């Protein structure tokens, strides 16, 4: 009886173990099945060339393709300018081939290559790096190495060796001479302009040119003073015009009478002239009063009184009358 009880207990314990292992197996199976689509998305890196054999200097195309999960962060490999005696001629931009799919992205790049060294050259693998979403692990995918054969240009040894061809003579035309003609013309024009500039600098006038009129200086001055008096400028409020006329007529008289550039001088410079300073004291005082008052009216906008306006005109007349040119008397034999 005790034996039967032990047998029953052993059977129950085995049934419990079998059930436990079955439940664990089912849980593991379903977890593997449902989680596989989330973490087992494949990445593929491929490299292909459009030909396996080229003539030296000929170009061929290398195509790189990399497919990875859409949410993964991928880094495209940097292709150097030269590798394994192969040179990069042109790099095309990286294109996405299936932007509308949500689970996987496929990117591709075309690179034009060439080689100037004959023989067998190995294009090394290109390594793509990427990270899955929520994972900081840096993963890699590599392409397979490729072999390219670079052949030399075949030489026909049965034919005779020929010398290098000489230079070809090109006939000379006017179009070839046109740049030289234009150069000479421009140089001649520049030389002429420099010559004219130097000549004009040497011939510049040192001082103002004074033109002596044919009539007597005092005749012209007296006529202009009378005309200024008849114009009634200060009587109509035009003090600046009146005193400007007085000053200009007097200065022009000095220029014509003694060939002095009085129009270019200041009042002080005129009064210091020897021909002026040696004159009678009263005449000199009247001239100075008239010129200084004229400067005040012209530049300081002074307004003289009636007496001063009449006195200045009288002073100008007195100065001209005192410096008339006297004709020289000549004895005539009868």
Burial 9-31 (b: 16+ CB within 10 A, else e): eeeeeeeeeeeeeeeeeeeeeee
- How many CA atoms, within 13 angstroms, populate the side-chain half-sphere of residue 223? 7
Domains of the chain, CATH where assigned: 44-151 (2.60.40.740), 217-322 (no CATH)
**Residue 122, beta-bridge partner list:** 147
CA distance 62 to 112: 6
CA distance 142 to 66: 9
Per-residue pLDDT tens, the chain, 334 aa: give them.
444 544 454 554 545 454 555 555 554 444 444 443 444 457 999 999 999 999 999 999 999 999 999 889 999 999 999 998 999 999 999 998 876 666 889 999 999 999 999 999 999 999 999 999 888 899 999 999 999 999 998 777 788 877 888 888 878 777 888 888 889 999 999 999 998 888 887 655 555 555 555 688 888 989 999 999 999 998 998 999 999 999 999 999 999 889 888 888 999 998 888 888 888 888 888 899 999 999 999 898 889 988 898 999 999 999 999 888 765 444 444 3
pLDDT at 324: 86
pLDDT at 74: 92
pLDDT at 27: 47
Does the pTM surpass 0.95? The reply is no
**Torsions phi, psi for 272 (to 5 deg):** -90, -5
CA distance 306 to 161: 119
Separation in Å, CA 297 to CA 135, 229, 288, 306:
96, 17, 14, 14
pLDDT at 259: 87
Q: What is the 3-state secondary structure (H, E, C) of the chain?
A: CHHHHHHHHHHHHHHHHHHHHHHHHHHHHHHHHHHHHHHCCCCEEEEEECCCEEECCCEEEEEEEEEEECCCEEECCCCCCEECCEEEEEECCCEECCCCCCCEEEEEEEEEEECCCCEEEEECCCEEEEECCCCCCCEEEECCCEEEEEECCCCCCCCCCCCCCCCCCCCCCHHHHHHHHHHHHHHHHHHHHHHHHHHHHHCCCCCCCCCCCCCCHHHHHHHHHHHHHHHCCHHHCCHHHHHHHHHHHHHHHHHHHHCCCHHHCCHHHHHCCHHHHCCCHHHHHHHHHHHHHHHHHHHHCCCCCHHHHHHHHHHHHHHHHHCCCCCCCCCCCC
């Amino acid at each position: 009886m005790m034996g039967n009880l032990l047998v029953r207990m052993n059977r129950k314990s085995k049934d419990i173990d079998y059930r436990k292992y079955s439940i664990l197996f089912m849980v593991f199976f379903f977890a593997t099945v449902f989680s596989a689509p989330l973490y087992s998305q494949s990445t593929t890196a491929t490299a292909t060339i459009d030909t396996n054999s080229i003539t030296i200097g000929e170009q061929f195309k290398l195509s790189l393709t990399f497919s990875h999960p859409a949410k993964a962060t991928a880094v495209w490999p940097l292709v150097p300018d030269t590798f394994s005696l192969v040179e990069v001629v042109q790099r095309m931009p990286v294109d996405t081939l299936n932007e509308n799919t949500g689970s996987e992205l496929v990117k591709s790049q075309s690179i034009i290559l060439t080689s100037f060294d004959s023989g067998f050259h190995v294009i090394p693998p290109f390594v793509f790096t990427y990270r899955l979403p929520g994972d900081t692990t840096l993963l890699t995918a590599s392409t397979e190495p490729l072999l390219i054969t670079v052949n030399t240009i075949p030489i026909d040894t049965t034919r005779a060796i020929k010398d290098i061809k000489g230079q070809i003579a090109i006939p000379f035309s006017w179009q070839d001479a046109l740049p030289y003609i234009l150069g000479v013309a421009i140089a001649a024009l520049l030389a002429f302009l420099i010559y004219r500039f130097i000549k004009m600098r040497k011939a510049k006038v040192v001082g103002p040119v004074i033109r002596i009129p044919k009539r007597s200086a005092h005749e012209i001055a007296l006529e202009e003073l009378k005309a200024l008096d008849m114009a009634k400028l200060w009587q109509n409020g035009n003090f600046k015009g009146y005193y400007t006329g007085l000053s200009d007529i007097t200065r022009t008289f000095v220029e014509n009478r003694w060939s002095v550039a009085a129009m270019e001088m200041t009042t002080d410079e005129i009064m210091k002239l020897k021909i002026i300073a040696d004159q009678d004291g009263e005449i000199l005082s009247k001239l100075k009063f008239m010129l200084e008052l004229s400067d005040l009216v012209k530049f300081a906008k002074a307004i003289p009184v009636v007496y001063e306006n009449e006195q200045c005109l009288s002073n100008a007349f007195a100065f001209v009358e005192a410096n008339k040119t006297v004709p020289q008397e000549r004895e005539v034999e009868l």
